[in-house]
Amino acid sequence: MTAPTLNRDFILSDSARKLPAMHHPWRRLRDVLPDWQVVLRSLPVGLLGATDTDRRTILLDSRMLQVQRRCTLDHELAHAEAGDVGCQHRHRETAINQASARRLVPIDRLLEVIVWANGLAELADECWVDVETMRCRMQHLHPAERAAVNRALASRDNEESP
C-alpha cells in the first residue's frame, strides 16, 4: 500500500474523500503581502477591522471569534491588495465583501454542504465563515452558481421524496 500524497489542489482527509483546499487568509498575507503586519487590539464598537496602507498594517478587533478574524482578515487583505486608502464608498465595500465571500466559500464547498445544512448558520459554520459572509455569498451568486445550487437542492429533494 502506498502512502497518500498531498498536492496544492486537494487535502486527503482520509483515503475515501478528497476535500478542496481551503482558502487561508493568513497564508495569503504571508505570500502576497509579506511586509505587512496584523495588529490585534480593541477597536471601536462596530469596527471589526481596518487597513492602514501607509503603515502596511491591518488592524483586527481582538474580541472577535476565530471565524470572524478569518473573514475580517480576508476582507482587509482585499483592501490592502487593491491599495485602498481610507474609508471606502458603499459600492466599493460591497464589491470587497463579494470578492472575499467568493474566496472564502468556493462553489464546490458550498454545493457539498448546502444539500444537508439546516439553515444559514449551519452552512456558515461548515464553511468556516461568519453568517454575514455566508449571507453575502448566497445573495451574490453568479447565475451559473445559482443554477448549480438549485440543481443540488432539487436533487436532494428528489432523493428525499417517497
Residue 91 domain-assigned (yes or no): no
Q: Are residues 80 and 111 in the same domain?
A: no
Domain count across the chain: 2
Does residue 64 contact residue 122 with C-beta atoms inside 8 Å? no
* CATH classification of the domain holding 29: 1.10.10.2910
Q: Are residues 125 and 160 in the same domain?
A: yes
Residue 38 belongs to domain spanning:
25-86
Residue 33 domain-assigned (yes or no): yes
Q: Are residues 131 and 80 in the same domain?
A: no
Q: Which helix (H) or strand (E) holds 67?
A: helix 66-82
Does residue 31 contact residue 43 with C-beta atoms inside 8 Å? no
- 45-52, long-range: CB < 8 A, 24+ apart: 48/72, 49/73, 49/75, 49/76, 50/76, 51/76, 51/79, 51/80, 51/84
Per-residue pLDDT of the chain (162 residues), as tens digits, is 444 444 444 444 444 555 557 899 999 999 999 999 999 999 999 999 999 999 999 999 999 999 999 999 999 999 999 888 777 788 889 999 999 999 999 999 999 999 999 999 999 999 999 999 999 999 999 999 999 999 999 988 777 666
Residue 3 domain-assigned (yes or no): no
Q: Are residues 47 and 76 in the same domain?
A: yes
